[in-house]
Amino acid sequence: MAELKYTPVEEIEKIQATLRNTFRSGKSKSIEYRKYQLLQLAYMVKDNTKRFQDALAADLGRPPFESQFLEIGSSIVEARTAWANVDKWAKPEKPGFSINSTPMRPVIYKEPKGVVLIISPFNYPMWLCMSPLAGAIAAGNAVVVKPAETAPNVSALFAELIPKYLDPELVAVVNGGIPETTRLLELPWDHILYTGGGRVARIVSAAAAKHLTPVSLELGGKSPVFVDPNCDLETAAKRIMWGKVVNAGQTCVAPDYVLVPRDFQDKFVNALKEACDKFYPESVSTPGIYSRLITPQAFRRVKGLLDNTKGKVVFGGETDEATKFIAPTVVKDCSFDDSLMSEEIFGPVLPVIPVENVEEAITYVNNNDHPLALYVFSRDDAYKQNVFSRTQSGAAIANEVVLHPGIEGLPFGGIGPSGSGYHTGKYSFDMFTHLRASMDTPSWIDRILGFRFPPYSDQSFKGASRLVKSLPPRPTGPP
C-alpha cells in the first residue's frame, strides 16, 4: 500500500491557480475532451479494481464483494453514463414557443461553473468521490478532489492514479487533514460539494459564504424504518438487516432505527436474528467477511451509545477495540430518549422502538430533523402513502433499503438538515452546470416592442398591456 502524503499547505493556492488558468483557456469546454477524460476515469477504476479492493479492505476491513458491488462497479457506471450522455446533456436548449419571445431567439446554454471543490467522506471514499467527479468533468469544470484522510489507502491511491489517467491541469487531488482543508476553504470556488456530517457542513457553509460560493451538502441523519405487520416479514428482515450490516453500518442511508407496533416487535426481532444467522453462518468476527469501524474514535463513539442503551440487546453486542469490531447488534424495547436515539448511529447497531400505532411513529419522525432516507415495509399501498405523504425526507423508499442512490435516473440528496442539492448521473452534471440565458434579437422586433422606449404615452401602456395574458375566471373559494 502507498503511504498517504499530505499536500503542502503552501502549494494549495498554486494548484487552484493552475486549474483556473487551464479552465480559462477553454480546454475543458470541448465535449470530445470531456468524453476522453470520462472514459479515462472509467478505465482508471477498471484497470485498478484489485488495488481499490485492497485499499478499501485496508481502510474499512470491507469484504471485496461489498466494495465491488457498492463502489467499484458503481463508479465505472457513473463515468460511463456521463460519457454516453454528455453530448445530450450539454446541448443548448430552447424555451417553449411563445408568440411574444420566440422571435428574440432565446436559448439556454449549459456552461461549466468553473473550478469546483469536491470534499468526499471516508465511508464510501471511492464512489462518493468518483460519482460527483464524473458529473463535474462532464459539465466541463476543473476540479479539486479532497478525499478523506481517515481512509488513507484509498486517498493515497487517488493521489497516485488521478494524475496518470486524467489531465493534471484540470483535475487535482489535495490530501490532508484540518490545516489543508482549512486552506482549501479559505479560497474562492465556483461550487463546493461536501459529503459528511452536519458539524463540519456548518464550517464549510460559513467559509463558502465569505465568497458567496454555492454549496451542495449530503449529510445523512437518522433514517427511520416503518414496519407494518402486513409486510413480507422474511424479505423485510433480510433487507433491513443487510442495510444495517453492510459496511458495518457506515452508510449515510443505512436504516438507523425501526418503528414497529408493540405487539409485532418480538416476531420482527426474531426474523432479524434469522436473517443475520443466515448472513454469517461462521463467526462474524472472521476477517474478510464483515467490515470494521473506520477509526478507534468511531469505534468508541458507537460502543458508547451501545453501552448506555436502556433497551435489551437481543443479539450481537460483542466488541473488540483492537480490531475496531462491533458485531451486528439488534436492541429492542428502545425508547425515543434512549442513547441510541441521541445521534446518527453510523454503525452496525439497530434499535427497535415499539410504538402504539403508525400515528405515534409519524409524529416522532416529524418532530425531528428530516432524514436523508425514510423506509416503509408494507404490502398496503394506503399505509405506504400515508407515511410518505405526511413526512419529509430526502428519499421515500418502500420495501427496499440503501440501493436508491445507485438507481439510474433517481436524484440523490437530502432536505433540510440531511442536506441540499442532488447528484448522481445527470443530477451531478446539473449541479456543476450554469444555465446561461441568451438571446439574439433582430432589429425588426422594435416594430412590435417599440412602445418600450421613452417618451412614454397612453400607447406605451396599451402596447405593454397586450403582452399580458388574460386571467381565467376568478375562483369562488378554496376547494
pLDDT digits (tens, 9 = 90+) for 36-45: 999 999 999 9
C-alpha cell at 94: 430552447
Number of C-beta neighbours around residue 111 at 10 A: 16
pLDDT at residue 276, rounded to an integer: 97
Nearest one of 37, 115, 116 to 79, comparing CA atoms: 37
What share of the chain has pLDDT > 90, as a percent?
Answer: 95
Nearest Cα to Cα of residue 119 among 33, 205, 50:
205
Q: What does the angle CA 435 – CA 188 – CA 35 come to, to the nearest 5 degrees? A: 50
Q: What is the mean pLDDT of residues 349-360?
A: 98
- Strand 215-218 vs strand 419-420: parallel, antiparallel, or unpaired? antiparallel
Q: What is the mean pLDDT of the chain?
A: 96
The one-letter amino acid code at 109 reads Y
pTM score, whole prediction: 0.95
- Catalytic residue, from 71, 78, 180, 218: name it: 218
Q: Give pLDDT, residue 84.
A: 98
At residue 101, the pLDDT reads: 85
Of the candidates 209, 194, 109, 93, the one whose C-alpha atom is nearest the C-alpha of residue 146 is 194
Distance CA(366)–CA(374), nearest Å, equals 11
List 66, 71, 180, 252, catalytic entry: 252
Is the pLDDT at 1 greater than 80? The verdict is: no
The vertex-423 CA angle with 23 and 227, nearest 5°, equals 165
- Catalytic residue list contains 276: no
Q: Judge whether residue 224 has pLDDT over 90.
A: yes
Say what percent of the chain tops pLDDT 70: 100
Q: Are 410 and 427 in contact (CB under 8 A)?
A: no
pLDDT in tens, 316-338: 999 999 999 999 999 999 999 99
Which of 308, 344, 302 lies closest to 325, judged by CA?
302
Q: How far apart are the C-alpha atoms of 62 and 73, rounded to whole Å?
A: 15
pLDDT at 122: 96
pLDDT for the residue 239? 98
Separation between Cα atoms, residue 74 and residue 87, nearest integer Å? 21
Residue with the larger pLDDT of the pair 378 and 467 = 378
- Report the C-alpha gap between 61 and 287 in whole angstroms: 7
d(CA 233, CA 11): 56
All three cell numbers of 110: 449549459
Q: Are 328 and 319 in contact (CB under 8 A)?
A: no
Is 295 a residue whose pLDDT tops 80? yes
Give the pLDDT confidence of 248-272 residue by residue, as tens digits.
999 999 999 999 999 999 999 999 9
- Beta pairing class for 257-261 and 224-227: parallel
Q: What is the mean pLDDT of residues 79-101?
A: 94
Cβ–Cβ under 8 Å, residues 299 and 342: no
| Residues contacting 40, CB < 8 A, separation 6+ | 165, 166
Kindly list the distances between the CA atom of residue 33 and the CA atoms of 37, 46, 173, 320, in Å, as whole numbers in the listed order: 6, 20, 20, 50
CA distance 289 to 63: 5
54 pLDDT tier (thresholds 50, 70, 90): very high
The confidence score (pLDDT) of residue 404 equals: 97
Give the separation between CA 113 and CA 20, rounded to whole angstroms: 11
Beta bridge partners of 325: 320
Cα–Cα distance measured from residue 127 to residue 41, given in angstroms and rounded to the nearest whole number:
12
Instruction: Calculate ∠ Cα 379-385-387, nearest 5°.
Output: 95
To the query of whether residue 334 is one of the catalytic residues in this protein, the response is no
Provide the pLDDT confidence category of residue 166 given band limits of 50, 70 and 90. Answer: very high
| Spatial distance between the Cα atoms of 477 and 68, rounded to a whole number of angstroms | 58
CA 172 vs CA 17, 81, 217, 361, 432: distances in Å: 11, 22, 21, 46, 17
Examine residue 455 and say whether the peptide bond preceding it is cis (omega within 30 degrees of 0): yes
* Mean pLDDT value of segment 57-78: 96
Check whether 100 has a pLDDT greater than 90. no
What is the pLDDT, as a whole number, of residue 103? 87
CB 310 within 8 A of CB 338: yes
Task: Evaluate whether 249 touches 290 at the Cβ level (below 8 Å).
Answer: no
pLDDT digits (tens, 9 = 90+) for 423-475: 999 999 999 999 999 999 999 999 989 999 999 999 999 999 988 888 999 99
Which pLDDT belongs to residue 99? 78
d(CA 4, CA 155): 7
Report the C-alpha gap between 131 and 431 in whole angstroms.
12
Residue 175: which pLDDT band, with cuts at 50, 70 and 90? very high
Q: How many residues make up the chain in this entry?
A: 479
Query: Mean pLDDT, to the nearest integer, of 29-36?
Result: 98
